[in-house]
Amino acid sequence: MNKAKIGIFGGSGFYSLFDKKSDISEKTEYGYPSASVSVGKIDAKNVAFLPRHGPHHQFPPHKVPYKANVSAFKELGVERIIGPCAAGSLQPDIKPGDFVICDQLVDRTWGRDDTFFHGPEVAHVSFAEPYCPEMRKVAIEACKKLGINFHPKGTVVVINGPRFSTKAESKWFSSAGWQVINMTQYPETILAREMEMCYLGIALITDYDVGLEGHPEVKPVTAAEVGKIFASNNERVKKLIAEIIKNLPEKRCCNCGAAMGNAEI
């Protein structure tokens, strides 16, 4: 089996990565992942790729097999995960086409299996900083080098989906000062933390959620528009990922790899 220390979860509109690759299709302890895991080379490093929604977008956000996906990466030896995602903007200064290097999240999902610890092993993992600080620094420098319009931090509120927000909900999220809205960053992030893997969340802004107050010309988001914007920016996403991978240090200097040290009871 091909091993890989870096894994990438492809978001909406991002279903393939490599021209030359090995496909690995194996059932994990938590069932089958969304698709076969592809392993290829980026900057001479083995990298695993998995489209979180499946190759034909057959898994809606509330039905993505998150535990199987994360477990499949863990079994391949993945230590760091890059999680690009399509996302909506909640603030006027964050525009469609911008990238946001997320630093915080708010979980508004429900009914998702978001832990590997259902007993008799019990663990309470620290999640104060949900995104790896080391990977975030590398991503920020990569955005600067490539001349990408980006925001070095942002809080993503994760809604359950598959529906989009009401105007009242979106106004609530915006007034709280949160920047980004998405449907898949949780529980992917916490499951990676429980597996002691680093996680980097990169939000590609595709829309303004339900529109902008005072700007009637900005219409509420549609699924078709999200797919269109993300697809047209796929090459930018891939270039950014390649630049990040190129500059990641071989050894991790963060605390993600020791996250479970004081978590189990």
What residue spans define the domains of the chain? 6-258
Q: How far apart are CA 215 and CA 186, in angstroms?
A: 30
Q: How far apart are CA 265 and CA 256, in angstroms?
A: 19
Tokens 């039905």 belong to residue: 63
Return the SS3 of 229: helix
pLDDT higher than 80, residue 181: yes
Give the DSSP per-residue string, 197-216. -EEEEEEEEEE-TT-BTTBT
The single-letter code of the amino acid at 105 is L
Q: How far apart are CA 187 and CA 112, in angstroms?
A: 7
Q: Nearest-5° angle of CA 44, CA 46, CA 50?
A: 135
Share of the chain above pLDDT 70, in %: 96
Residue-wise pLDDT for 182-200, tens only, equals 999 999 999 999 999 999 9
| Phi, psi angles (nearest 5°) of residue 164 | -85, 175
pLDDT higher than 80, residue 223: no
Assign 23 a pLDDT band (cuts: 50, 70, 90).
Answer: confident
Residues pairing with 88 in the sheet: 181, 207
User: Which helix H or strand E contains 181, and what residues bound it?
Assistant: strand 180-182
Q: How far apart are CA 197 and CA 190, in angstroms?
A: 10
Q: How far apart are CA 40 and CA 56, in angstroms?
A: 20
Of 77-86, 94-103, 190-199, 232-241, where does mean pLDDT reach its minimum?
232-241
Residues pairing with 47 in the sheet: 6, 40
The single-letter code of the amino acid at 196 is E
Question: What single-letter DSSP state applies at residue 36?
Answer: P
* Residue 68: count of CB within 10 angstroms of its CB: 18
Q: Taking Cα atoms as reference points, which of 251, 262, 246 lies closest to residue 44?
A: 246
Residue 1: the pLDDT is 56
| Phi, psi angles (nearest 5°) of residue 138 | -65, -40
Q: Which residues fall within 8 angstroms of residue 193, CB to CB, at 6 or more apart?
A: 125, 127, 130, 199, 256, 259
Highest-confidence range of 12-16, 85-89, 216-220, by mean pLDDT? 85-89
Question: What single-letter DSSP state applies at residue 77?
Answer: T
* Residues with catalytic function: 207, 209
Assign 27 a pLDDT band (cuts: 50, 70, 90).
Answer: very high
Whether domain 6-258 has CATH 3.40.50.1580 = yes
